[in-house]
Amino acid sequence: MSHSFVHVYIHVIFATKDRRPWLTEDVRVRLIPYLGGIARQKKVATIAIGAVEDHVHVLLKLHSAVSIAKLIGDMKSYSSAFAKSIGVADFAWQEGYGAFSCSKNHVLTVKRYVENQEEHHRTHSFDDEMARLANIWGFDWSSGG
């Protein structure tokens, strides 16, 4: 095959340090497009980004030359500096992240889920959300919460 073909979707979740509520609505309306811009610079397609006060969800279609760890590290690093530049002086992301594969058949469902984070979190906590994902994907959330 003369060209690389990658068709991989991932759903990424990362939280603010100590899950502090730094992502106010004013911050989110500026930070979300900034996160999308970082992905775009890395040739990664952003399908959806959603956030609440203490964490972010991003649905991405990966590029063949980009590692997940490098991409998320860059997104967190550059967006942290951006948040500080717009007045969130102590802003930082929590170490680590969750990255989950997403079938092409489920992209629209996950996209709606990511875009509706504010509504979702009116009735479900971050810990509830991660416990559900831990159950689906088979990892131990008790040490991550």
Report all structural domains of the chain as residue ranges with CATH numbers, in order of start. Answer: 9-136 (3.30.70.1290)
Q: Please tell me the predicted confidence (pLDDT) of residue 37.
A: 97
DSSP 103: -
Would you say 88 and 27 are in contact if contact means Cβ atoms under 8 Å apart?
yes
* pLDDT tens digits, one per residue of 14-41: 999 999 999 999 999 999 999 999 999 9
Q: What is the pTM of this model?
A: 0.86
Residues 81 and 75: their CA atoms lie apart, in Å, by 10
Alpha carbon 84 to its chain centroid, in Å, reads 19
Residues of the chain with pLDDT under 70: 1-2, 141-145
